[in-house]
Amino acid sequence: MEITRDELKELLIECIQPKEVKLTLTIKEAAEISGIGREKLTELTFSNDFPSFKVGIKTLINRDMFMAWLEKITLEHRQI
């Protein structure tokens, strides 16, 4: 199967263009990004300073606030 020049150009553009970043993360995604276990993250969602919220039964974490939270607990040398 041969790819035409135009098809190749479209494929390259798709690969090069930045993908939109989701504003929220699931617990599983946050665990993959941070290395914190899913059970620990679920436990943290019950604390007041953790940047999570519920949509129905689904728990979501605000991506930017999560990154800021990680930085904050690191600077504070806090144990979670």
pTM higher than 0.75? no
pLDDT at 5 over 80: yes
**Per-residue pLDDT tens for 17-68?**
777 788 999 999 999 999 999 999 999 999 889 999 999 999 999 999 999 9
Look at residue 19 in the predicted model and tell me its pLDDT.
75
Contact 7, 46 (CB under 8 A): no
Domains of the chain (ranges; CATH) run 20-75 (3.90.105)
User: Binning pLDDT at 50, 70 and 90, where does residue 72 land?
Assistant: very high
CB contact set of 15 (below 8 Å; sequence gap of 6+): none
